[in-house]
Amino acid sequence: MKRIIIDREKCDGCLNCNIACISAHEEGSNFYTVNLQSPDAETRNFIKFDAGKGYLPIFCRHCDEPECVLSCMSGALEKDPVSGHVQYDENKCAACYMCVMNCPFGVLKPDKKTRTKVIKCDFCDDKPDGPSCVKACPKQAIVVKEVNL
């Protein structure tokens, strides 16, 4: 499967990945027009800073054994057998947030505005040119690679 591989040493903490993610999920917007103040503006990836270690990118791994899928009681989260990506169906989701509780890396979150859905990486719907965060990274700290399971 394709996974966003992280080289944290290269990350400068510019947060272009955050903006690209928000923009990719705000229809018709681009880097210049994206409304970061919108209540819908939610990033699916995070950069944490640690005084000792520097910048630490936290991105959904679409895990081989996804705890979020195992915890999902509505069938909204499923691991796609072909792409290997963990897909989310907002219409099935009942917003119980067991997945938020079960993600060991703290990647998942409820949506801020309505608390009726989960904000989760969708790998930009497997677009041929790859996820928007990867395209936006000026340092190639995140790159898409094929990994064997």
Residue 86 interacts with another protein (CB under 8 A): yes or no: no
Residue 104 interacts with another protein (CB under 8 A): yes or no: yes
Residue 15 interacts with another protein (CB under 8 A): yes or no: no
Residue 22 interacts with another protein (CB under 8 A): yes or no: no
**Smallest distance from another protein to CB 32, Å:** 27
Distance between CA atoms of residues 111 and 40, nearest Å: 8
Token duo for residue 107: 């990647």
Sign of the dihedral through C-alpha 44, 93, 129, 4: positive
69 closest CA partner among 102, 106, 111: 102
From candidates 10, 15, 96, 130, binder to another protein by CB under 8 A = 96
Q: Which stretch binds another protein (CB under 8 A): 10-18, 19-27, 93-101, 123-131?
A: 93-101
Residue 64 interacts with another protein (CB under 8 A): yes or no: yes
Task: Give me the residues paired with residue 144 across strands.
Answer: 4
Residue 105 interacts with another protein (CB under 8 A): yes or no: yes
From candidates 13, 29, 98, 135, binder to another protein by CB under 8 A = 98
State the greatest distance between any 2 C-alpha atoms of the chain, in Å, as a whole number. 42
Contact status, residue 77 vs residue 99, Cβ threshold 8 Å: yes
- Please name the residue that has the structure tokens 């944290």: 8
Residue 46 interacts with another protein (CB under 8 A): yes or no: yes
